[in-house]
Structures are given as C-alpha cells and as structure tokens.
Amino acid sequence: MDIWWQLVYFLFFVLFKRYYCSIIGKNSIIFTIERRIFMIYIIRHGQTDWNIEHRTQGHTDIALNINGIKLAELMAQKIANLKIDNIISSDLKRAYMTAQIINKKFNKTIEEDKRLREQCFGTLEGITRDKITQEIWDDFNKNAKQFNAETKEEIFNRIKSFIDDIKSNNINKNTLVVTHGGPIRMIKYYLDNGDNFNDKKYLAEYMTLKINNLDVFIIDEKMNLKRYDL
C-alpha cells in the first residue's frame, strides 16, 4: 500500500508541479493545494530630456537626464525592502540605466531583454507630440508599416512571449522588470484578455492608461496587473 501511495504522490507532483503535496500517515495522504507564490514588479524607466520635450522616443536610445537619475535613486530607496531574486530590463539606455541605479540596492545580475523595448515608432521618432496630428496617429494605427514602425500586434507577440517565459522559468522567484509605457499597457492587455489580440479593443481600452516615469506595477500570484502603492 505504501508503494501505491508513493506512486500517487509522484504522479500528482509530475502533473501538477506548480502545487505542493504532502503525505501524512501510513495509509493516508493529504494534498495541500497551494500555488507557488511569485511576484513580478514592473517599473517604467526614469525621466529623459525627450520626455520633458514630449518627443516620441520608441527605439531611439535616449539616456536618463539628471532628474531622471535622481528620481531613480529615490525609487531604489523606496523599494529597497522588497525581496527581489532577479532583474530583467529593456536593453534601451533609459530603462537599463534605471535598472542599474535600482540594482545598487539588490546587487543582482541584470538580464537585458529586447522584448521589453518600447514600440518602434519609425519615422515619427524624435518628433514632438504637438507636431503629430490626430490624423497622423489614425494613419499610424491603421498601418504602422508605412511609417517603418512596429505594429501593435508585433508588440503583443513579444510581450506575450516574455510573460509566458516568466511564468514558466521564474516560479518561486520575485522578478523586477524595468521597461516602458507601451509594454506595460500591453502586459495588462495580455493578462486581461489572453492570447487573441484585438487592435480596436486595445486602442479603445488600454492606450489611455496613464503611466508616468517610475510608476510601479505588480503582477500578483493570480496574474493580475495592478499599481503598486509604495
């Protein structure tokens, strides 16, 4: 009988490896149905000169300005008590510099991931927002490729890939992610809606999500994205 229960335990562990189970007593078994808890903290990068000038940044590699550095240092102090096991950052300077500053409190190896980049806006990058009319934005949203830019669905696919990897490879690890406004909106869309991307739904319900420099979000154990109050 003991061997039979051991087999049941083994099969349960293999099939439901994200749950814990415990054997109690000689001929009895109790399963503790408890998800392994992990948290994903997400931070938008610090301030750049182009943020102040309201220029479209995209993939243009702009560094933090002096104020951005100072505010990132303050953010590092605010979150210093979090338990962080690993840090993943967009490879663009404004995000990676933010990650480096924050990492002074954690001393982890920062992993760069291009999937966390902001949307590429192509020929619109570097242009101030007041020069980009609503008509231009409408044309952009209908056909980003005519601007040599990245489509929303392309961003969705890389963000989906990133989040799926996090869920598979970071069980029982608290991860700090440093990225950009666009990817954060897309993360929320994916967690709310699953695999099927609907461009109209995204533009109508998620593009208006206000995300400031160094805003902090959390993906909890139920895979919900919400703002993290410091």
Same structural domain, 85 and 183: yes
Same structural domain, 119 and 88: yes
Range of the domain at 111: 40-227
Same structural domain, 124 and 14: no
Given the residues 45, 125, 150, 180, the one annotated as active site: 45
Alpha-carbon span 213 to 120, nearest angstrom: 19
Same structural domain, 53 and 70: yes
CB 105 within 8 A of CB 72: no
Tens of pLDDT along the chain (230 residues)?
456 555 555 555 444 444 443 333 434 333 333 444 678 999 999 999 999 999 999 999 999 999 999 999 999 999 999 999 999 999 999 999 999 999 999 999 999 999 999 999 999 999 999 999 999 999 999 999 999 999 999 999 999 999 999 988 877 889 999 999 999 999 999 999 999 999 999 999 999 999 999 999 999 878 899 999 88
Same structural domain, 60 and 14: no
- pLDDT tens-digit readout, 23-41: 334 343 333 334 446 789 9
Q: Has 59 been annotated as catalytic? A: no
Alpha-carbon span 134 to 138, nearest angstrom: 6
- pLDDT tens-digit readout, 181-196: 999 999 999 999 999 9
Alpha-carbon span 54 to 195, nearest angstrom: 32
Give the CATH number of the domain where residue 189 resides. 3.40.50.1240
Same structural domain, 172 and 142: yes
Same structural domain, 3 and 104: no
Given the residues 34, 59, 112, 118, the one annotated as active site: 118
Same structural domain, 22 and 59: no
Same structural domain, 47 and 11: no
What percentage of the chain's residues is helix, strand, coil (to nearest 5)? 45, 15, 40
The number of folded domains in the chain is: 2
Same structural domain, 114 and 10: no
Q: Has 53 been annotated as catalytic? A: no
Same structural domain, 124 and 210: yes
